[in-house]
Amino acid sequence: MKQEEKKTLQIPYEECTDGSIIWRYSKNPIIGRNPNETIARAFNSAVVEFNSKFVGIFRGDTKSTIPYLYYGESEDGINFKINKDPIVFYNVDGSKHEIEYAYDPRVVKIDGTFYIMWCNGSNGAPTIGLAETKDFKKYTFISSPFLPFNRNGVLFPKKINGEFAMLSRPSDGGHTPFGDIFISYSKDLVYWGKHKLVMKPSWQWWQSTKIGAGPFPIETKEGWILIYHGVTKTCAGMVYSIGAALLDLNDPSKVIGRTDNYLMTPEMEYETIGFVPNVVFPCAALVDNKGRIAIYYGAADTYLSLAFTTVDKLLSVLKK
Amino acid sequence: MKQEEKKTLQIPYEECTDGSIIWRYSKNPIIGRNPNETIARAFNSAVVEFNSKFVGIFRGDTKSTIPYLYYGESEDGINFKINKDPIVFYNVDGSKHEIEYAYDPRVVKIDGTFYIMWCNGSNGAPTIGLAETKDFKKYTFISSPFLPFNRNGVLFPKKINGEFAMLSRPSDGGHTPFGDIFISYSKDLVYWGKHKLVMKPSWQWWQSTKIGAGPFPIETKEGWILIYHGVTKTCAGMVYSIGAALLDLNDPSKVIGRTDNYLMTPEMEYETIGFVPNVVFPCAALVDNKGRIAIYYGAADTYLSLAFTTVDKLLSVLKK
Amino acid sequence: MKQEEKKTLQIPYEECTDGSIIWRYSKNPIIGRNPNETIARAFNSAVVEFNSKFVGIFRGDTKSTIPYLYYGESEDGINFKINKDPIVFYNVDGSKHEIEYAYDPRVVKIDGTFYIMWCNGSNGAPTIGLAETKDFKKYTFISSPFLPFNRNGVLFPKKINGEFAMLSRPSDGGHTPFGDIFISYSKDLVYWGKHKLVMKPSWQWWQSTKIGAGPFPIETKEGWILIYHGVTKTCAGMVYSIGAALLDLNDPSKVIGRTDNYLMTPEMEYETIGFVPNVVFPCAALVDNKGRIAIYYGAADTYLSLAFTTVDKLLSVLKK
Amino acid sequence: MKQEEKKTLQIPYEECTDGSIIWRYSKNPIIGRNPNETIARAFNSAVVEFNSKFVGIFRGDTKSTIPYLYYGESEDGINFKINKDPIVFYNVDGSKHEIEYAYDPRVVKIDGTFYIMWCNGSNGAPTIGLAETKDFKKYTFISSPFLPFNRNGVLFPKKINGEFAMLSRPSDGGHTPFGDIFISYSKDLVYWGKHKLVMKPSWQWWQSTKIGAGPFPIETKEGWILIYHGVTKTCAGMVYSIGAALLDLNDPSKVIGRTDNYLMTPEMEYETIGFVPNVVFPCAALVDNKGRIAIYYGAADTYLSLAFTTVDKLLSVLKK
Amino acid sequence: MKQEEKKTLQIPYEECTDGSIIWRYSKNPIIGRNPNETIARAFNSAVVEFNSKFVGIFRGDTKSTIPYLYYGESEDGINFKINKDPIVFYNVDGSKHEIEYAYDPRVVKIDGTFYIMWCNGSNGAPTIGLAETKDFKKYTFISSPFLPFNRNGVLFPKKINGEFAMLSRPSDGGHTPFGDIFISYSKDLVYWGKHKLVMKPSWQWWQSTKIGAGPFPIETKEGWILIYHGVTKTCAGMVYSIGAALLDLNDPSKVIGRTDNYLMTPEMEYETIGFVPNVVFPCAALVDNKGRIAIYYGAADTYLSLAFTTVDKLLSVLKK
Amino acid sequence: MKQEEKKTLQIPYEECTDGSIIWRYSKNPIIGRNPNETIARAFNSAVVEFNSKFVGIFRGDTKSTIPYLYYGESEDGINFKINKDPIVFYNVDGSKHEIEYAYDPRVVKIDGTFYIMWCNGSNGAPTIGLAETKDFKKYTFISSPFLPFNRNGVLFPKKINGEFAMLSRPSDGGHTPFGDIFISYSKDLVYWGKHKLVMKPSWQWWQSTKIGAGPFPIETKEGWILIYHGVTKTCAGMVYSIGAALLDLNDPSKVIGRTDNYLMTPEMEYETIGFVPNVVFPCAALVDNKGRIAIYYGAADTYLSLAFTTVDKLLSVLKK
């Protein structure tokens, strides 16, 4: 594992041709329906670099339509081979951790360990599940950081003031029609506290019903860039768009900047048609040393897609 | 009518090319929007063989968007000519039976008589209507077997222990968010009783909101194969998929097997876009003597489509 | 049992002092909270004469608040001794019929047999349960006449045109905000059909949300008198009042007369305060040979109370 | 401005090829997503002739998804250039009239003045806003004719019995599931009264949930032709179709004729896919001296589209 | 009619004994259930002085539970005799004005004419009805000032800046869970405009769901005193309390003061038990020349009650 | 403070006279409406012994109906004098901790410090607030242990396996129609984790909607006795009853016993009439060295009442 970081991986990227802040990959979606014989739809998923490859933790909805997490890998970050069997988690004591359902994973690497968070079915109620792996072979379930009902838990990629920090969105048990982003802290990933409100829905309609953190925040000199989803409710259901915010480096509950305009909204056929029409849902972002960003986002709860941006572009709309 | 059975009709069929249990007709949909000048959409419909032809009882939603039942016929089971005027039903006493609205028909032949069931508007409330015809010219309204509110009534194609048996799904007056399949018995098609629960929604999300019988059950040595629809609720509305169950030959309230995975879910453009996106709704099945099956299903409450399977394939997933 | 009818029982009765059509017993309620050590509240209940006594089938909500049916008896029709253990029903084959819950019983005697109907929990869904007894010792479960969801099933006290006739109110699984009275027929109490609408809610607010049959209909020369409950919905919940209708003797689906005004509405403390405030719910009526009527009604889902009227008084408001 | 009327403009038009009453423009939609850099979707919009051009008041939803009104113009009525900044309204006293949000405009010319009505956010509640302009440069806010909650306000194009007349649809603050069309009168556009019901939803399902006026009524010898939208509710949301009615010339609250069948319903991809699938929403109509009509309608809350008809065709279905 | 004002009437009044701002009459309620043979409950009602008597326009809910308006009169303002037949209204043209239902009246005298406002059923939807009388014998229906849905319309007792002014609360068709007080103006009582928001619900829970004007505003040197009802929603329904506000004399849309605390909330048995428990609903106030005030308020939608206060006491809590 | 424990206080107590497990104080309620000039209703409140007195933290709803916490004290545990001003909390840094609203307090003493928990309004959303005091004069706000939405937080009276343990009930922002009891642990009262489900609602109707912990658990040799409230939903709102459970001493997420029957349900006038009819809500319990228990419970969200039981009686129904 020593050589892990040696080979420099090239993240998927295409140049912007039209002045957008975020622009789509020209060959979207990168994962279509029925990617393998057990998975019906693989969409809201997280990709990171590991061992000179791109590895992903995928939300795969089986043909029994129960979502679980799956491991997949890719040479180029675009073409993925996804396992047919879901990831098995073990408790700290070595026993198997039973999974009712698991969806919308995020993955973040802190000090050489990969942490996976997802919406975890626990006694029939959704809350955040938190696990770790060092090799994407053995996965240890660490804790349910919060009481139900919670979704969209996202760890920061490093400790803040010596503590782990996690964003999350308290909710209820259904198709929650409300939702704010909170931050919580922990010294050990098991006991959590110091909860603070970060952001509420806003008057712009695309983010007026609920909001939730997307990929783990990207550290910049100006602050943490948080790419998030915002939701509005039409007379034909909810519409999910993408926005961004800039959070204070030392106290991320302080919002320095936030997009009034969405940065991306469902427009393409693979975003407007599918199991849940009109959803773009970002779960992961790769950043290279030039500040180029590849965003992995679920489309219509059916496809996995890619979009691109840069740190500078995002900062240009978030600093003011 | 004597020669009715002589000519062997070839049911519509295409071979499976990808290992699916149920696979779609390559030229779907077989009926598009506005099939004639009075009907806007013809979709959830029932086809049977009669007099060396394929005849269908079609759900046709007029341009006033009220659904009625229409007669249509076809040489090949694919290209149908549908009447412009809805079917007129007569009561046993010869008077005309007024129809408020009628939708989602099923047709089954028992002892030379064709029985038609549908969701029938009665005093403003939906329940099952039951009629018979011998020639698809004269239609006699027999009874409303059940009190409102009920939908998806499906007669078995022969008597069980000397009695008619009908599946149905008690419901409420709106877009019912619940629904189990029950079986009821009758000696005369007028008085019904001995109601028993057959199946409830299940934990698999695609069939977790409600379920309803599709085509009339197919008799096999292993049991009755029941193709049914299962429904889940997303934040953009309900999604209808197709599953199957195996019911005991002598006591069909006993479920021998049942699909955990859906066998078909809305994936094609004609299933995911339309008046009600994301609906596949099976109403009829033709079975030939080789065990090949042609399923007629409504797509997006807009189109009529075909899918194929075989008795053996279905049994292979239902027996365990 | 031969002497059963010998002794003439005097039904509970007080003269009217204020010109009302229906007036209350001066010592209401006749059953208070916690009538014995197992029952918390005994209210919507049915009383008949048997063996020179008044016997009752009581709705008793246990201290686990699950309603079951209990046997009780009384010399005067006012002071009842209620059993501590609920009635046990046996199937026709002699096996025990399991009861999930049972409430709002009615009892009617036809040709020497007492028939009991109630709202019966069956697979978690409410529908009508029907049982018989000849001696109030052995109770045989006959059938669930209708599919769920149904409540307020009431048999007529004799066959009509050679068939049993039952009123009922199709509903849904919750605190149903709608409900019409239907009539259905049967030759054998097992198979039911020929369903017809009898009455819908009306524009008078007290009966504008839903209606349901009360005691079994009282036969008069002018027609069947049906005492029923009507419900309206305020911003603090539903209010149950009492009305009456006159149904055609030979075709009870024909409504000859019906009260525009309620005949009784919750006014007394025992009707306006309790587990469900503002409920008067009639379940039984005794009629003597002078046409005097004693109505047993539940009050506030907490108490059993008595009210009086006469056949003539009721007819005077129903004939027009 | 004197020459304004001189040049005869040719309204956009294509001949009907299939016998429809209303038929679509072959190159729909005429405005796609992101028509300029500030507007994400321009759809339910109003076009009139002015100064030998076609000018439009557009509903433009910004990329913050707040709708405002925008000015645009076109030589041919098809290709429009829309301003990037929303229209600014001034009060009568010259102060700026603040706009919370503004959508679904209609424009009508009366005695040389153009009146603009729209759904106006006022203290967080939607009601009708009414403004005037003579030159599409200076816009004066006249009044909020009605108390909240109201939408789809449409002035008649001339006074009736000496008074201004406006159609509107009282509603509530959300995705209103009910709605009738009313007419109100005014002598001065500020004080309104003499409210009368014009039309309620009807039993045809496409117009059974709510209805609302579309373009301003077209005067004919037979009466006012009102093109309107009708809405139904499926288990996947609301569907908006187009119908028409004929109103009495002198008393438009009298409905002479009304379509049982929709004249247009969402069928095309640009109508069935988008921000709100399955919406066709007419806001404006141009009529030439041959009685040819060009209808501007919003599609899927995403596109602006054109459809055509003629006065004679509409009358042929409305007179009876 | 000339002597009308001669005899000085003594309004009902009792001194305060406990320092309250508003205190109850010691013999409440003044009207109990079934005040005459046609009325079941007379409660939210308006009393004024006329011809040396107290006359009232009563909300009487009949025994068919439809509310109408009734005339009643009293020597002492406490003991009322109420007519058995509802008030008949005539249109300006002399024809009878049909009443679907009418409730919650207010009465105000302006320049010798009494104006009556109430919630008026019109085409099945509630809005304000406005009528006038000079003698409480002939009642002329003037107009429906506003489109549905509206309730709690209250005219000011004199013109403001030369125009009639009315408070009202736009709402929806059911047990509206929201509601602000607006003011509108008219020169002729027929055409209304210049709508402005006066007050919204506030953060204090008792007035956080909706608010509505009570008696007509009382003119003082400091401003108009508006006694109003505020509503909160518990898990057992809505609770109505009483508050007050001080409005600017010349522009009553300016709120000078407003109670944080309720001035009265349901506490007595006749307020907490009844058709709708926990309602105190003020509709009228009498003020004498010493500034003493008698408030008539409905209790529990069942009783009419009296409470007292003084102008000085109210001002003491409203000025700040 | 040293002598604090010296004088032995006699807890309020009356002997049981009727065999009940829990019985009411004969002079209930102990606090009526308007206990002082600022508080309208003082009900769900917590009492402990301190300094040879009984001190209480009261939920007082002001006349602006906002609930805050108030200090009160009593010599006999029955007659309390409650402060007029709410308790002021200070943050650890000495700054004032602002309170939006605060209700349903519990108080528990651990190692000489009193900990107060309540439902705390935070950014408009309810969650648990946790504070400490040693002298009931200075109150320090420690933390919000959990993300919103949460209610009924109850600390155990001593550490379990070296950690603080708290019960709570995750919920949503309204009149939550669901709710399970969870347990969470903390080493420092700031960071919380190791969340586990303790109990869900059960099939008995009185506890079928939601449940929540009442007084802090009482330690016995057999386990922790948890007195809790169970809620059911009638057509007139929610009804709150009282039950009990026995939890494992070392792992309180293990339920050893639990009441099928409620131990108390609203029956008395002060429990069935009030701001929220039909509520009994226990918040505190005093236990003496003979195992006698005095339970303080809120009645109808209006009164504070007392009930009695003994450890032995409770164990007798919980052990099996």
- HSE-up of B160 (CA within 13 Å, CB side)? 22
* Interfacial residues of E (vs F; Cβ cutoff 8 Å): 203-206, 232-237, 239, 241, 260-262, 265-267, 269, 272-273, 277-278
Q: How many Cβ atoms are within 10 Å of A84's Cβ, its own excluded?
A: 11
pLDDT at D4: 46
- Taking the C-alpha atoms of residue E74 and residue E67, their distance in angstroms, rounded to an integer, is 21
**CA quadruple B85, B90, B96, B97: dihedral sign:** negative
Q: Which chain B residue lies closest to C167 (C-alpha atoms)?
A: B147
Choose among F127, F144, F187: nearest Cβ to A191: F187
pLDDT at D2: 45
* Interfacial residues of D (vs B; Cβ cutoff 8 Å): 203-206, 232-237, 239, 241, 260-262, 265-267, 269, 272-273, 277-278
Q: Is D46 helix (H, G, I), strand (E, B) or coil?
A: strand
Is C64 in contact with F204 (Cβ distance < 8 A)?
A: yes
Contact pairs from chain C to chain F, CB under 8 Å: 51
Is F193 in contact with A186 (Cβ distance < 8 A)?
A: yes
Statement: residue F241 has pLDDT above 90: yes
Measure in Å the smallest separation between the Cα of D145 and chain E Cα atoms: 6
The neighbouring-strand residues paired with B169 are: B151
Cβ neighbours of E43 in C, within 8 Å: none
Neighbours of chain A (3+ CB pairs under 8 A): B, D, F
Cβ neighbours of A206 in D, within 8 Å: 64-65
Is D65 in contact with A233 (Cβ distance < 8 A)?
A: no
Q: SS3 letters for chain E? A: CHHHHCCCCCCCCCCCCCCCCCEECCCCCCECCCCCCCEEEECCCEEEEECCEEEEEEEEEECCCCEEEEEEEECCCCCCEECCCCCCEECCCCCEECCCCEEEEEEEEECCEEEEEEEEEECCEEEEEEEEECCCCCEEEEECCCCCCEEEEEECCCCECCEEEEEEEECCCCCCCCCCEEEEEECCCCEEEEEEEEECCCCCHHHCCEEEECCCCEEECCEEEEEEEEEEEECCEEEEEEEEEEECCCCCCCEEEECCCCCECCCCHHHHCCCCCCEEEEEEEEECCCCEEEEEEEECCCEEEEEEEEHHHHHHHHCC
Does residue A279 contact residue A301 with C-beta atoms inside 8 Å? yes
- Taking the C-alpha atoms of residue E86 and residue E39, their distance in angstroms, rounded to an integer, is 10
Does residue C176 contact residue C145 with C-beta atoms inside 8 Å? no
Contact pairs from chain A to chain D, CB under 8 Å: 53
pLDDT at A2: 45
Alpha helices in chain B (DSSP H): 269-272, 311-318
Neighbours of chain F (3+ CB pairs under 8 A): A, C, E
pLDDT at E9: 87
Report in angstroms the alpha-carbon separations of D129 from A206, D113, D148, D190: 23, 16, 11, 11
- Taking the C-alpha atoms of residue A74 and residue A306, their distance in angstroms, rounded to an integer, is 14
Statement: residue C7 has pLDDT above 70: no
Is F194 in contact with A147 (Cβ distance < 8 A)?
A: no
Cβ neighbours of F262 in C, within 8 Å: 63-65
Q: Which chain F residue lies closest to C300 (C-alpha atoms)?
A: F236
Amino acid at E83: N
Is A63 in contact with B262 (Cβ distance < 8 A)?
A: yes
Does residue A173 contact residue F178 with C-beta atoms inside 8 Å? yes
pLDDT at C124: 83
- List domains and CATH numbers for chain B: 7-24+36-318 (2.115.10.20)
For the stretch B66-80, pLDDT in tens is 999 999 999 999 999
- Taking the C-alpha atoms of residue C284 and residue A162, their distance in angstroms, rounded to an integer, is 74
pLDDT at B3: 44
**Chain centroid to CA A69: how far?**
13
- Taking the C-alpha atoms of residue A261 and residue A243, their distance in angstroms, rounded to an integer, is 7
Q: Which of C174, C241, C238, C177 is nearest to C206 (CA)?
A: C241
Is E64 in contact with C232 (Cβ distance < 8 A)?
A: no
Give which of B34, B233, B275 to mutate to test D binding, by max D Cβ within 10 Å: B275
Q: Which of D47, D51, D55, D54 is nearest to D6 (CA)?
A: D51
* Interfacial residues of D (vs A; Cβ cutoff 8 Å): 33-34, 40, 61-66, 175, 236-238, 273-278, 301
Q: Is F194 helix (H, G, I), strand (E, B) or coil?
A: strand
Q: Which chain F residue lies closest to C176 (C-alpha atoms)?
A: F235
Measure in Å the smallest separation between the Cα of F155 and chain C Cα atoms: 28
- Taking the C-alpha atoms of residue B241 and residue B234, their distance in angstroms, rounded to an integer, is 13
What tens-digit pLDDT sequence spans chain A (320 residues)?
A: 344 445 678 999 999 988 899 999 999 999 999 999 999 999 999 999 999 999 999 999 999 999 999 999 999 999 999 999 999 999 999 999 999 999 999 999 999 999 999 999 988 899 999 999 999 999 999 999 999 999 999 999 999 999 999 999 999 988 999 999 999 999 999 999 999 999 999 999 999 999 999 999 999 999 999 999 999 999 999 999 999 999 999 999 999 999 999 999 999 999 999 999 999 999 999 999 999 999 999 999 999 999 999 999 999 999 96
For the stretch F243-265, pLDDT in tens is 999 999 999 999 999 999 999 99
What ipTM does the predicted assembly reach?
Answer: 0.94
What tens-digit pLDDT sequence spans chain D (320 residues)?
A: 344 445 678 999 999 988 899 999 999 999 999 999 999 999 999 999 999 999 999 999 999 999 999 999 999 999 999 999 999 999 999 999 999 999 999 999 999 999 999 999 988 899 999 999 999 999 999 999 999 999 999 999 999 999 999 999 999 988 999 999 999 999 999 999 999 999 999 999 999 999 999 999 999 999 999 999 999 999 999 999 999 999 999 999 999 999 999 999 999 999 999 999 999 999 999 999 999 999 999 999 999 999 999 999 999 999 97
Cβ neighbours of D269 in B, within 8 Å: 273
Query: Do E and B count as touching (3 or more CB pairs closer than 8 A)?
Result: no
- HSE-up of D316 (CA within 13 Å, CB side)? 11
- HSE-up of F253 (CA within 13 Å, CB side)? 12
Q: What angle do CA C98, C103, C106 make, to 5 degrees?
A: 105
Cβ neighbours of E237 in C, within 8 Å: 234-237
Q: Is B241 helix (H, G, I), strand (E, B) or coil?
A: strand
Is D190 in contact with E195 (Cβ distance < 8 A)?
A: no
Is F149 in contact with A143 (Cβ distance < 8 A)?
A: no
DSSP string, D286-314: EE-TTSEEEEEEEETTTEEEEEEEEHHHH
* Interfacial residues of A (vs F; Cβ cutoff 8 Å): 122-123, 125, 127, 143-150, 168, 170, 172-173, 178, 180, 182, 184-188, 190-195, 197, 200
Cβ neighbours of A122 in F, within 8 Å: 197
Cβ neighbours of D278 in A, within 8 Å: 236
Cβ neighbours of E22 in F, within 8 Å: none
What is the total residue count of chain E? 320
Neighbours of chain D (3+ CB pairs under 8 A): A, B, E
Does residue D92 contact residue A291 with C-beta atoms inside 8 Å? no
- Taking the C-alpha atoms of residue E145 and residue E189, their distance in angstroms, rounded to an integer, is 7
Does residue D24 contact residue D294 with C-beta atoms inside 8 Å? no
A274: tokens are: 């599918």
DSSP string, B84-123: SSPPPEE-TTS-EE--S-EEEEEEEEETTEEEEEEEEEET
Choose among C146, C172, C191: nearest Cβ to B187: C191
Choose among E123, E170, E194: nearest Cβ to D148: E170
Choose among A146, A178, A186: nearest Cβ to F147: A146
- Taking the C-alpha atoms of residue D131 and residue D99, their distance in angstroms, rounded to an integer, is 12
The neighbouring-strand residues paired with C56 are: C47, C72
pLDDT at E124: 85
Q: Which of D184, D187, D116 is nearest to D147 (CA)?
A: D184
Is F237 in contact with E233 (Cβ distance < 8 A)?
A: no
Residue C1 banded pLDDT, cuts 50, 70, 90: very low
Measure in Å the smallest separation between the Cα of C17 and chain E Cα atoms: 15
Q: Which residues contact D75 (CB under 8 A, 6 or more apart)?
A: D53, D54
Is D197 in contact with E123 (Cβ distance < 8 A)?
A: yes
For the stretch B236-295, pLDDT in tens is 999 999 999 999 999 999 999 999 999 999 999 999 999 999 999 999 999 999 999 999
- Taking the C-alpha atoms of residue E131 and residue E116, their distance in angstroms, rounded to an integer, is 5
pLDDT at E6: 52
For the stretch C124-163, pLDDT in tens is 899 999 999 999 999 999 999 999 999 999 999 999 999 9
With a cut of 70, which residues of chain B have pLDDT below it?
1-7, 320
In this structure, what are the phi and psi dihedrals at residue A3, rounded to the nearest 5 degrees? -80, 5
Alpha helices in A213-310 (DSSP H): 269-272
Q: Which chain E residue lies closest to C273 (C-alpha atoms)?
A: E273
Is D272 in contact with B274 (Cβ distance < 8 A)?
A: yes
Report in angstroms the alpha-carbon separations of E125 from D179, E104, E149, E211: 11, 15, 6, 20
- Taking the C-alpha atoms of residue A168 and residue A182, their distance in angstroms, rounded to an integer, is 5
Choose among F123, F182, F191: nearest Cβ to A193: F191
Q: Which residues contact A159 (CB under 8 A, 6 or more apart)?
A: A110, A165
C233: tokens are: 């919905």
Measure in Å the smallest separation between the Cα of E16 and chain C Cα atoms: 30
Q: Strands D89-90 and D139-143, how do they pair? A: parallel
Measure in Å the smallest separation between the Cα of B199 and chain C Cα atoms: 11
B235: tokens are: 């934040």
With a cut of 50, which residues of chain E have pLDDT below it?
1-5
Is D191 in contact with E195 (Cβ distance < 8 A)?
A: no
- Taking the C-alpha atoms of residue D153 and residue D175, their distance in angstroms, rounded to an integer, is 17
- Taking the C-alpha atoms of residue E202 and residue E224, their distance in angstroms, rounded to an integer, is 20
Is A262 in contact with D66 (Cβ distance < 8 A)?
A: no
**CA quadruple E119, E121, E122, E126: dihedral sign:** positive
Choose among C62, C64, C238: nearest Cβ to F235: C238
Cβ neighbours of B185 in C, within 8 Å: 191
Alpha helices in chain D (DSSP H): 269-272, 311-318
Q: Which residues contact C77 (CB under 8 A, 6 or more apart)?
A: C9, C11, C12, C47, C54, C286, C294
Q: Which residues contact B26 (CB under 8 A, 6 or more apart)?
A: B14
Q: Which residues contact B140 (CB under 8 A, 6 or more apart)?
A: B89, B90, B91, B92, B131, B132, B133
The neighbouring-strand residues paired with E307 are: E24, E295
* Interfacial residues of B (vs A; Cβ cutoff 8 Å): 203-206, 232-237, 239, 241, 260-262, 265-267, 269, 272-273, 277-278
